[in-house]
Structures are given as structure tokens and as C-alpha cells.
Amino acid sequence: MVSSSAASSAISMVTTPGLPHYGAVVIIGLISLLSLKEITSASEKWNKNLNISFNQAIIPLFLCFMGIVYFKINAIV
């Protein structure tokens, strides 16, 4: 009886490969950071350090966005 419950729990722990369900959060975060960067670049508060900080947050989100686009295209093809 113990082995059958262990086998059923092991089957339920298997996940299918693919995109996580957080794709919308990545896209919304990327759009908001790009908008905020564009707005603050026009102000007098803009400097090199602020630009680097924005890029450190935008680049990983952009890479995740490109991964989402890649997987969506592969799902269609």
C-alpha cells in the first residue's frame, strides 16, 4: 500500500515543460520599466547611474520576453 501511494504522488509531481504562467507579469513589468525610463530620461534627474540601474532591470525582463516569444512561435509551428 505504501508503494502505490508513493507512485501516485510521484506522478502528480511531474510537470510539463513550457512557459510559466507569469508571462503577463514579465510583459507588464518590461513595458512599465521602459516607459519609466523614457519619462525619467527627459528630466533633470537623469544620470549615468540611473541609466545603469534601469538597464539592470530591463535586460533580464527583455530576455524573458524573447524566450516567451520564441516558445509561442514554436508552439504555432
Q: What is the pLDDT of residues 10-60, one digit of tens each?
A: 555 555 565 567 788 889 999 999 999 999 999 888 899 999 999 999 999
Q: CA of 5: how far to CAs of 8, 11, 14, 22, in Å?
A: 5, 10, 15, 31
- pLDDT confidence of residue 7: 52
- pLDDT confidence of residue 23: 84
Its pTM surpasses 0.75: no
- pLDDT confidence of residue 52: 94
Q: CA of 14: how far to CAs of 18, 22, 75, in Å?
A: 13, 19, 21
Domain boundaries along the sequence of the chain: 19-76
